[in-house]
């Protein structure tokens, strides 16, 4: 069962969580193998791109065609008859039935053959159709059938796609293209497609040639509109752990080479004294003697390299990969991150980033659906300055009492009532909601009741909330039938409006309109949109009252929309029709022309009122944000909402506190001041703060600092990001970054999806190269999720696209807390120990070998037996560290959650910095010296057995090795803070395994070995008392400094983590929340 | 994003998965292992826990060290260098290769008597028995009595594999350079008469080497027959089957040979040469007095600046004289005791400060 699920999860790891996928395929872009060190893929065989619509080939025509023909009952019947006639003596000659049958078959075969020949011809034409491919940086023409999976194809305008393609980049600057799918589904409209974010910058053939990526995607499937895949572009890694690992590796490589060089040089220096190189007892062979000195030196150098090569921990990568793979299961298994409502737990789409979760410095979060529930609830509407609140609000479900409402203001007059009804009608009509079909069967007759929530489908939850809210005021939208919108008014009459035009929503206009014709023949234009885009177009209505109400609502964190209308006389409508028609048929700049037309139409409106929809905060969102901030993570909210709404949400979730001083860079402010002035002013304010911050750090009171919050909107941001004419584009950016760095929270509102990614990129590539995390739930967050180092998708209501494109998906925002503070922390601690320990144990392993060269005439004699050399990393010391890296919990999970400040302890790659690395390396060197010289002084010119017999070089090596295995394993045991039975089993088990293996290895004359040098060496060693004493002594000495360092550091300069550990150990209740406690 | 219309761009925009249905399959098992909540012992190295360990280490190591040190000091050992590089040395004449056989005698005095079994070693210096080319230059199959390896030794033995078209037995550089000085010991009696001291040849090699690892070629014929078709190592005077008259100590299982074949770890080493068994409890094995060491000087070490020594040593349970272990134990014991004290002080101070901090909270 376990194995089964493991296998399944393995298969699913890259399929982004779709349950029913059987398999995925991996495509190498441009046929380039992925670089070593990445996941190993099984190369797949793909068929070529030949189109075969023909049925037969030349060879199989006769048998296959005959078979086809005789499958027809009639033919088969005649055939049987014919055969019967042949076999037995029948009244009629076989020819009588045979000839016609033969004739029919013949004719049919010829016909089919001809048809098939035509098909062959058509196929060939298609298959030989030239296609432009990019190969080795050049454009190459290929026949279509010769295309292979992985080829990079260039398609020019109005060309037909030769095969299924993934859109890498386009000649348009924004990386889009327009595609018509007429030949697939008959739809001739142009669909816009976006290039993959990572590759859209590759424009020329040379650029494309440098692209090194693989694409993992699902197998071909019948659904034309669905494609899920993942592109891995290999480029410089910014993962701090991998970066550290690589630097450490380079250091060790340098050590390796210098060791080999030193030894080679010393060897020749040593040999220069006569008779050292070739004493009489140790002659060379003739061939060796003949060899050229340089060549000899070079081979010696290589031999030393081989001898010391174990210093580069090859198995480290395997272990790291294993750790990442297996470790990621703990996230998926976490029961605390399971959402009962959704019934879903976290998803891990990649395991490469587990430890980065512990290094996050910036969190970029979406607001809607991430911080908030995205569970819209109609709160109130404001008609003509009067506020109407639905009476009974019960989680979006109306009570049957349709007329229940609460008029806050005095009851309206007659005209007011008319306006009010118009307002409700407007809301009922001005939307793009579809009504689910199955309800429609009996829908119009039956009054809808509580089950109808699912009946409305819209891409925008706001619309659904509005239409449902209006229902409570007595107006129910029924359906759109034959271009007539039907609605049920307060008196339960069905009103029908003819839908004339829909001026659909776009994010630039931020509004939408419909033009409808009522039953009485009046033509209305209803317009609904953001206040900022409606108010300027209004000429009539109680603008001020409504505006103040809208602003009030926005401050409360409600999402507001304004509704306006305009009555059109038929002539006007004619004009509008013409305008729209002209724009729609325009061949060039259609979008622009349409926008212009809309602009012209949506003017001179009469303001009806405004609506407010509440999007409730997710549970524990505030708690999570607070914890993240305490953990030293900067939280940025990136939203498309307007400033007031967003700011209110930020206050609600404690991103901004009451004492937070807000700095604003908004369009409104920029109208008054130039960007330059604003930025400089702000940076001055902030810098004052940061200087005082350093001062306060000395006095140790930085906790109660004045903290700043920055609000910036999309327009201002694009100003900042825009390169200036004089070329000094970076100026503003740097300034802006400076300001941001000193703000505890940043809110970016009115963001376009791409701007979100831009912001993430800006931070990601700023000086400190911080690790960024983006979390979001909607399609509009995908770009930032992909851009950030760690992308987290909230399995939300706006589809699963974010979850699918993310590295991790969690059901709720609150799970981010455990994800970072617990899992991230653990993974980072584990992997850094893993990396450091690997280097440590290998230097312990190889340094004695190096020292031994000084005592064996630099002859590359190994200190240890081959079996020990091989098995040291593979089996004697591998499992304990792997299990450590899976199980270690230096602090209890609950403590980590309770005390987010502990996260700061590991920030900025703390455990893999040079200091730590040098400490580990020095410790390794020290231990190696202890092993080697301990054994050296033991063996030097004396005997250590009670029968006077002597030991040889293999016993010497075995002693060193034994001490080493014990020391290295016990060192890990000292580092382990969480001893489960598995740790006990593995640590003591691997020591036991070493002993048992050595006993066995030395206990038998192995017939397959050409040498028997280890025979009884280990046992003889154990029979000597001093060897035991030496092992105990040397292990103690090796471990002593590390223990001492640990104890002293903990006592004198304890980190927050150590303090928490100690306090739990000593006094029970944690002191860690008071960082000053022990000062 | 006030209105999430742009969600329409979603390519795969299927509705979110309905709850239920898949929920059961996604629900993780609630085992302690998967939740990372296995019961665990969570030790922490604090001064408090480590302190006793330091003291215990100190208290255990120091007595052990003293014990070892005393034992080591009680061991009698005498080393006599007979290389003969010094012109005044009796063996000086043997440095020139012309004098063969060269016999020289060195006299020495034991100030104290050697009691119990006494072990006679020869020691060589600057002799790289651990040189890679040297270490591998042997054929364990041949030495184990494998008839095919006897006639066709391993390539590792080059250039000591064949001589005059005959396979060398035992092949290789190690065997070829076997130590071949003969050492004899005489006690000078009261009347200046020389009493030879019995030197036992057997029991100097590992039992397993002698009985398992090293074997003569199989057969019941005389040893000479069994080694037929092979030739002696170049530097040897006698073939391998004539190393000793004792059948049980001849051929590959000659103990001098076996001892030599166990390559030493370091360029300065000693190898067991002979045993001097104690006679009875009343007389010391080697009483104090004057002795003669008679050397048949064959083994050239001068060419590579080597030294040759003869060592007489008694043995304790822990082997020969080696002050290192005892001193190391005493040192480490003291250090850890000292560290314990230092930690105690630190711990004491720390506890005070932490206590006051606790109060201030």
Backbone angles phi, psi at A966, to 5 degrees: -70, -45
Task: Pick the range with the lowest mean pLDDT from A498-502, A707-711, B95-99.
Answer: B95-99
Highest mean pLDDT among A255-264, A350-359, A1056-1065: A255-264
User: In angstroms, rounded to a whole number, what is the distance separating the alpha carbons of residues A169 and A208?
Assistant: 9
Q: If phi over 0 gives left and psi between -120 and 50 gives alpha, with beta otherwise, what is residue A557?
A: left
User: In angstroms, rounded to a whole number, what is the distance separating the alpha carbons of residues A294 and A291?
Assistant: 9
Is residue A982 within 8 Å of residue A916, measured between CB atoms?
no
Residues 6 or more apart whose CB falls under 8 angstroms from that of B319 comprise: A942, A943, A944, A945, A946, A948, A1024, A1025, A1026
User: In angstroms, rounded to a whole number, what is the distance separating the alpha carbons of residues A399 and A87?
Assistant: 85
In chain A, % of residues over pLDDT 90: 16
Of B1, B22, B134, the CB nearest to A780: B1
User: In angstroms, rounded to a whole number, what is the distance separating the alpha carbons of residues B236 and A299?
Assistant: 33
Three-state DSSP at A189 gives strand
Is there a binding annotation on residue A368? yes
Q: 3-state secondary structure string, A787-854?
A: HCCEEEEECCCCCCHHHHHCCEEECCCCHHHHHHHHHHHHHHHHHHHHHHHHHHHHHHHHHHHHHHHC
Q: Is the N-terminal amide bond of B159 cis, ω within 30° of 0?
A: yes
> Could you tell me which of A736, A751, A560, A557 has the C-alpha nearest to residue A655?
A557
Q: Is the N-terminal amide bond of B101 cis, ω within 30° of 0?
A: yes
Query: Exposed (0-12), middle (13-18) or buried (19+): which is A194, by Cβ within 10 Å?
Result: middle
| Contact call for A939 and B34, based on CB within 8 A | no
| Contact call for A951 and B265, based on CB within 8 A | yes
Is residue B2 within 8 Å of residue A559, measured between CB atoms?
yes
Task: Pick the range with the lowest mean pLDDT from A507-521, A551-565, A1058-1072.
Answer: A1058-1072
User: In angstroms, rounded to a whole number, what is the distance separating the alpha carbons of residues B79 and B59?
Assistant: 35
Chain A residues with CB under 8 Å of B56 CB are: none
Other beta carbons within 10 Å of A174: 11
Residues 6 or more apart whose CB falls under 8 angstroms from that of A1049 comprise: A1055, A1058
- Name the band, by pLDDT with cuts 50, 70 and 90, for residue A187: low
pLDDT given for residue A134 in this prediction: 81
| Contact call for B213 and A1016, based on CB within 8 A | yes
- Name the band, by pLDDT with cuts 50, 70 and 90, for residue A188: low
Picking from B41, B45, B261, B361 by the largest number of A CB atoms within 10 A of its own CB, the best residue to mutate is B45
| Contact call for A460 and B4, based on CB within 8 A | yes
pLDDT tens-digit readout, A673-699? 777 777 778 877 777 655 554 444 443
Chain B residues with CB under 8 Å of A348 CB are: none
The CA–CA distances, whole Å, from A742 to A635, A686, A979 equal 12, 6, 42
| Contact call for A856 and B8, based on CB within 8 A | no
- The C-alpha of A405 sits at a distance from chain B's nearest C-alpha, in angstroms, of 26
pLDDT given for residue A408 in this prediction: 43
Is there a binding annotation on residue A640? yes
> Could you tell me which of B121, B100, B163 has the C-alpha nearest to residue B300?
B100
- The C-alpha of A521 sits at a distance from chain B's nearest C-alpha, in angstroms, of 30
DSSP bridge partners of A397: A394
| Contact call for B40 and A798, based on CB within 8 A | no
Residues 6 or more apart whose CB falls under 8 angstroms from that of A118 comprise: none
Residue in B closest to A229 by C-alpha: B12
Is there a binding annotation on residue A603? no
The CA–CA distances, whole Å, from A45 to A27, A42, A165, A231 equal 10, 10, 18, 19
Is there a binding annotation on residue A505? yes
User: In angstroms, rounded to a whole number, what is the distance separating the alpha carbons of residues A321 and A325?
Assistant: 6
Task: Pick the range with the lowest mean pLDDT from A92-101, A877-886, B222-231.
Answer: A92-101
Three-state DSSP at A3 gives helix
> Could you tell me which of A518, A510, A497, A514 has the C-alpha nearest to residue A462?
A510
Is there a binding annotation on residue A707? no
Task: Pick the range with the lowest mean pLDDT from A349-353, A648-652, A769-773.
Answer: A349-353
Of A335, A341, A940, the CB nearest to B19: A341
User: In angstroms, rounded to a whole number, what is the distance separating the alpha carbons of residues A477 and B296?
Assistant: 121
| Contact call for B357 and A1078, based on CB within 8 A | yes
Is residue B261 within 8 Å of residue A950, measured between CB atoms?
no
Residue in B closest to A330 by C-alpha: B34
Q: How many angstroms separate the first and last alpha carbons of chain B?
A: 48
pLDDT tens-digit readout, A197-216? 667 667 777 777 777 777 87
Domain ranges in chain A?
A: 248-280+291-312, 361-371+620-688+707-720+734-788, 373-391+418-436+454-616, 822-1060
Chain B residues with CB under 8 Å of A1031 CB are: none
User: In angstroms, rounded to a whole number, what is the distance separating the alpha carbons of residues B178 and A281?
Assistant: 9
Domain ranges in chain B?
A: 44-75+321-361, 81-314
Other beta carbons within 10 Å of A660: 19
Of B2, B158, B212, the CB nearest to A1005: B212
| Contact call for A941 and B123, based on CB within 8 A | yes
Parallel, antiparallel, or unpaired for β A538-540 and A605-617?
parallel
Mean pLDDT of all residues in A536-558? 82
Instruction: Using alpha carbons only, give the angle A491, A422, A479 rounded to the nearest 5 degrees.
Output: 65
Which DSSP letter does residue B138 get?
A: -
DSSP bridge partners of A776: A793
Q: Is the N-terminal amide bond of A497 cis, ω within 30° of 0?
A: no
Is there a binding annotation on residue A696? no
Chain A residues with CB under 8 Å of B309 CB are: none
Exactly one of A116, A151, A300, A366 is catalytic; which is it?
A366
ipTM of this complex: 0.91
Is residue B181 within 8 Å of residue B293, measured between CB atoms?
no
Annotation says A207 is catalytic: no
Is there a binding annotation on residue A756? yes
pLDDT given for residue A354 in this prediction: 80
pLDDT given for residue A1078 in this prediction: 36
> Could you tell me which of A633, A640, A602, A573 has the C-alpha nearest to residue A783?
A640
Is residue B255 within 8 Å of residue B210, measured between CB atoms?
yes
How many interchain CB pairs under 8 A, A with B?
A: 385
What secondary structure does DSSP assign to B258-285, as a single string? HHHHS--SSSSEEEEEEEE----SSS-S
pLDDT tens-digit readout, A215-270? 877 777 766 666 777 777 765 555 677 778 888 888 888 988 899 899 999 988 88
Q: Is the pLDDT of residue A641 over 90?
A: no
Residues 6 or more apart whose CB falls under 8 angstroms from that of A749 comprise: A639, A640, A641, A642, A643, A645, A646, A647, A711, A712, A713, A714
Picking from A1047, A1065, A1069, A1075 by the largest number of B CB atoms within 10 A of its own CB, the best residue to mutate is A1047
Mean pLDDT of all residues in A566-582? 86
Q: How many CA atoms lie within 13 A of B146 on its CB side?
A: 16
Residues 6 or more apart whose CB falls under 8 angstroms from that of A73 comprise: none
pLDDT given for residue A74 in this prediction: 66
CA torsion A996→A998→A1002→A1006, rounded to 10°?
Answer: 80
CA torsion A107→A109→A114→A116, rounded to 10°?
Answer: 160
* Third-level CATH fold of A373-391+418-436+454-616: Calcium-transporting ATPase, cytoplasmic domain N (3.40.1110)
- The C-alpha of A496 sits at a distance from chain B's nearest C-alpha, in angstroms, of 26
Chain A residues with CB under 8 Å of B19 CB are: 341-343
What secondary structure does DSSP assign to A4-15, as a single string? HHHHHHHHHGGG
Is residue A928 within 8 Å of residue A851, measured between CB atoms?
yes
Q: Is the pLDDT of residue A379 over 90?
A: no
Homologous superfamily, domain A361-371+620-688+707-720+734-788: HAD superfamily/HAD-like (3.40.50.1000)
Residue in B closest to A267 by C-alpha: B131
| Contact call for B318 and A946, based on CB within 8 A | yes
Residue in A closest to B58 by C-alpha: A1036
pLDDT given for residue B80 in this prediction: 93
Chain B residues with CB under 8 Å of A1078 CB are: 350, 353-354, 357
- The C-alpha of B341 sits at a distance from chain A's nearest C-alpha, in angstroms, of 13
Q: How many CA atoms lie within 13 A of A90 on its CB side?
A: 14
User: In angstroms, rounded to a whole number, what is the distance separating the alpha carbons of residues A200 and A205?
Assistant: 13
Residue in B closest to A303 by C-alpha: B132
Q: Is the pLDDT of residue A8 over 50?
A: no
User: In angstroms, rounded to a whole number, what is the distance separating the alpha carbons of residues B274 and B145?
Assistant: 25
CA torsion B6→B11→B14→B17, rounded to 10°?
Answer: -90
pLDDT tens-digit readout, A15-36? 333 333 446 677 777 777 766 5
Q: 3-state secondary structure string, A340-377?
A: CCCCECCEECCCCCHHHHHCEEEEEEEHHHHHEEEEEE
pLDDT given for residue B267 in this prediction: 92
In chain A, % of residues over pLDDT 70: 83
pLDDT given for residue A21 in this prediction: 40
Q: Is the pLDDT of residue A440 over 80?
A: no
CA Rg value for chain A: 38
> Could you tell me which of A904, A709, A884, A703 has the C-alpha nearest to residue A820?
A904
| Contact call for A801 and B12, based on CB within 8 A | yes
- Name the band, by pLDDT with cuts 50, 70 and 90, for residue A462: confident
Three-state DSSP at A1015 gives coil
Taking each helix axis from N to C end, the angle separating A543-555 and A643-652, rounded to the nearest 10 degrees, works out to 30
| Contact call for A561 and B357, based on CB within 8 A | no
| Contact call for B3 and A798, based on CB within 8 A | no
């Amino acid at each position: 069962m376990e194995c089964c699920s493991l296998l399944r999860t393995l298969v699913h790891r890259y399929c982004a969580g779709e349950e029913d996928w059987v398999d995925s395929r991996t495509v190498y872009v441009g046929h380039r193998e992925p670089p070593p060190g990445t996941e190993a893929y099984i190369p797949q065989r793909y068929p070529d791109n030949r189109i075969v619509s023909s049925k037969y080939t030349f060879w199989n025509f006769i048998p296959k065609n005959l078979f086809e023909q005789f499958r027809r009952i009639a033919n088969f019947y005649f055939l049987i008859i014919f055969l019967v006639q042949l076999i037995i003596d029948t009244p009629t000659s076989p020819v009588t039935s045979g000839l016609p049958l033969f004739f029919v078959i013949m004719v049919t075969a010829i016909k089919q053959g001809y048809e098939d020949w035509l098909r062959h011809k058509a196929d060939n034409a298609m298959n030989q159709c030239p296609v432009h491919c990019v190969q080795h940086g050049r454009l190459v023409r290929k026949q279509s059938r010769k295309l292979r999976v992985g080829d990079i194809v260039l398609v020019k305008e109005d060309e037909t796609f030769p095969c299924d393609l993934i859109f890498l980049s386009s000649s348009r600057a924004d990386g889009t293209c327009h595609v018509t799918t007429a030949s697939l589904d008959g739809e001739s409209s142009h669909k816009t497609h976006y290039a993959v974010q990572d590759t859209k910058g590759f424009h020329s053939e040379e650029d494309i040639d440098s692209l090194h990526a693989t694409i993992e995607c699902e197998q071909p499937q019948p659904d034309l509109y669905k494609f899920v895949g993942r592109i891995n572009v290999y480029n410089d890694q910014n993962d701090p752990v991998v970066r550290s690992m690589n630097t450490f590796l380079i250091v060790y490589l340098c050590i390796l080479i210098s060791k080999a060089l030193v030894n080679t040089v010393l060897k020749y220096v040593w040999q220069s004294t006569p008779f050292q190189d070739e004493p009489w007892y140790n002659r060379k062979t003739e061939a060796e003697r003949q060899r050229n000195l340089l060549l000899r030196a070079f081979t010696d150098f290589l031999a030393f390299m081989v001898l010391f090569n174990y210093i580069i921990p090859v198995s480290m990568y395997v272990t790291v990969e294993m750790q990442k793979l297996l470790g990621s299961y703990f996230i998926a298994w976490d029961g605390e991150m399971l959402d009962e409502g959704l019934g879903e737990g976290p998803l891990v789409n990649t395991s490469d980033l587990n430890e980065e979760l512990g290094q996050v410095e910036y969190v970029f979060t979406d607001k809607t659906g991430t911080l908030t529930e995205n569970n819209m609830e109609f709160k109130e509407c404001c008609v003509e300055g009067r506020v109407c609140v639905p009476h009974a609000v019960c989680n979006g479900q109306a009570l049957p009492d349709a007329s229940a409402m609460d008029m806050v203001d005095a009851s309206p007059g007659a005209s007011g009532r008319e306006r009010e009804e118009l307002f409700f009608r407007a809301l009922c009509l001005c939307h793009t909601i579809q009504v689910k079909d199955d309800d429609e069967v009996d829908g119009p007759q039956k009054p809808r009741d509580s089950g109808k929530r699912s009946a409305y489908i819209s891409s925008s939850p706001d619309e659904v909330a509005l239409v449902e809210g209006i229902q409570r005021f007595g107006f129910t939208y029924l359906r759109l039938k034959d271009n007539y919108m039907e609605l049920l008014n307060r008196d339960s009459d069905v009103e029908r409006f003819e839908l004339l035009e829909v001026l659909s929503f776009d994010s630039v206009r931020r509004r939408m309109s419909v033009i409808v014709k009522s039953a009485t023949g009046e033509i209305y234009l209803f317009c609904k949109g953001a206040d900022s885009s409606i108010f300027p177009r209004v000429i009539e209505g109680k603008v001020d009252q409504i505006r103040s109400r809208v602003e009030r609502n926005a401050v409360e964190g409600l999402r507001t929309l304004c509704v306006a209308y305009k009555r059109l006389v038929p002539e006007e409508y004619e004009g509008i029709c013409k305008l729209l028609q002209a724009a729609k048929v325009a061949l060039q700049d259609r979008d622009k022309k349409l926008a212009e037309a809309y602009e012209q139409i949506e003017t001179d409106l009469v303001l009806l009122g405004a609506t407010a929809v509440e999007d409730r905060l997710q549970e524990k969102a505030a708690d999570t944000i607070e914890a993240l901030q305490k953990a030293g993570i900067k939280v940025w909210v990136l939203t498309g909402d307007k400033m007031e709404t967003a700011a209110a949400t930020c206050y609600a979730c404690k991103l901004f506190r009451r004492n937070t001083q807000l700095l604003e860079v908004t369009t409104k402010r920029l109208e008054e001041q130039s960007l330059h002035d604003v930025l400089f002013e702000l940076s001055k304010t902030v810098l004052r703060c940061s200087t005082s911050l350093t001062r306060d750090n000395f006095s140790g009171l930085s906790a109660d600092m004045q903290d700043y919050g920055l609000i910036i909107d999309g327009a201002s941001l694009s100003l900042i990001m825009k390169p200036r004419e004089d070329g000094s584009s970076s100026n503003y950016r740097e300034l802006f970054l400076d300001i941001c760095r000193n703000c505890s929270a940043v809110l970016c509102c009115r963001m376009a999806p791409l701007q979100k990614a831009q912001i993430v990129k800006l931070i990601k590539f700023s000086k400190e190269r911080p690790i960024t995390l983006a979390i979001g739930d909607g399609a509009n967050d995908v770009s930032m999720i992909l851009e950030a180092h760690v992308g987290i998708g909230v399995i939300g209501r706006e589809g699963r696209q974010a979850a699918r494109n993310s590295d991790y998906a969690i059901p709720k925002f609150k799970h981010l807390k455990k994800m970072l503070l617990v899992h991230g922390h653990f993974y980072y601690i584990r992997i850094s120990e893993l990396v450091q320990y690997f280097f440590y144990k290998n230097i312990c392993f190889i340094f004695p070998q190096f020292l031994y060269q000084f005592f064996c005439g630099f002859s590359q004699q190994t200190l240890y037996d081959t079996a020990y050399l091989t098995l040291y990393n593979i089996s004697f010391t591998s499992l304990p560290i792997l299990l450590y890296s899976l199980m270690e919990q230096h602090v209890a999970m609950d403590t980590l959650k309770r005390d987010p400040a502990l996260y700061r302890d590991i920030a900025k790659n703390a455990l893999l910095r040079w200091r730590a690395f040098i400490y580990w390396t020095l410790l390794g060197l020290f231990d190696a010296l202890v092993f080697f010289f301990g054994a050296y002084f033991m063996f030097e010119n004396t005997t250590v057995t009670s029968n006077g017999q002597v030991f040889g070089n293999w016993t010497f090596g075995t002693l060193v090795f034994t001490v080493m295995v014990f020391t290295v394993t016990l060192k890990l045991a000292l580092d382990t803070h969480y001893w489960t039975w598995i740790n006990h089993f593995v640590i003591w088990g691997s020591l036991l395994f070493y002993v048992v293996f050595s006993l066995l290895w030395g206990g038998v004359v192995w017939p397959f070995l050409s040498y028997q040098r280890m025979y009884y060496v280990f046992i003889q060693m154990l029979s000597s008392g001093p060897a035991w004493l030496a092992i105990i002594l040397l292990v103690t000495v090796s471990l002593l400094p590390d223990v001492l360092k640990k104890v002293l550091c903990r006592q004198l300069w304890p980190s927050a983590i150590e303090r928490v550990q100690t306090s739990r150990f000593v006094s029970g209740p944690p002191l860690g929340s008071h960082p000053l406690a022990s000062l | 994003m006030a209105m999430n219309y742009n969600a329409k761009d979603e390519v795969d925009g299927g509705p979110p998965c309905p709850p239920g249905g898949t929920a059961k399959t996604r629900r993780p098992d609630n085992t302690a292992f998967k939740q990372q909540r296995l019961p665990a012992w969570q030790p922490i190295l604090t001064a408090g826990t480590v302190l006793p360990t330091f003291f215990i280490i100190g208290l255990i190591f120091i007595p052990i060290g003293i014990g070892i040190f005393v034992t080591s000091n009680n061991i009698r050992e005498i080393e006599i260098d007979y290389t003969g590089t010094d012109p005044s040395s009796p063996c000086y004449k043997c440095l020139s290769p012309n004098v063969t056989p060269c016999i020289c005698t060195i006299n020495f005095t034991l100030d104290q008597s050697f009691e119990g079994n006494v072990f006679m070693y020869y020691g060589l210096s600057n002799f790289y028995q651990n040189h890679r080319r040297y270490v591998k230059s042997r054929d364990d199959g041949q030495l184990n009595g494998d008839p095919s390896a006897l006639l066709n030794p391993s390539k590792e033995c080059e250039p000591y594999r064949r001589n005059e078209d005959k396979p060398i037995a035992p092949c290789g550089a190690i065997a070829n350079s076997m130590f071949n000085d003969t050492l004899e010991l005489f006690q000078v009696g009261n009347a200046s008469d020389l009493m030879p001291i019995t030197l036992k040849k057997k029991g100097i090699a590992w039992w397993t080497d002698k009985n398992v690892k090293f074997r003569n070629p199989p057969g019941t014929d005389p040893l000479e027959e069994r080694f037929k078709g092979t030739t002696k190592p170049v530097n040897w005077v006698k073939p391998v089957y004539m190393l000793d008259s004792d059948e049980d100590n001849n051929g590959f299982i000659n103990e001098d040979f076996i001892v030599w074949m166990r390559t030493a770890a370091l360029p300065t080493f000693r190898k067991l040469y002979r045993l001097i068994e104690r006679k009875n409890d009343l007389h010391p094995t080697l009483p104090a007095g004057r002795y003669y060491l008679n050397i048949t000087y064959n083994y050239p070490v001068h060419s590579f600046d080597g030294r040759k020594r003869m060592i007489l040593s008694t043995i304790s349970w822990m082997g020969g004289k080696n002050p290192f272990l005892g001193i190391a134990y005493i040192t480490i014991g003291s250090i850890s005791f000292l560290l314990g004290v230092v930690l105690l002080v630190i711990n004491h101070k720390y506890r005070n400060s932490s206590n006051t901090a606790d109060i201030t909270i």
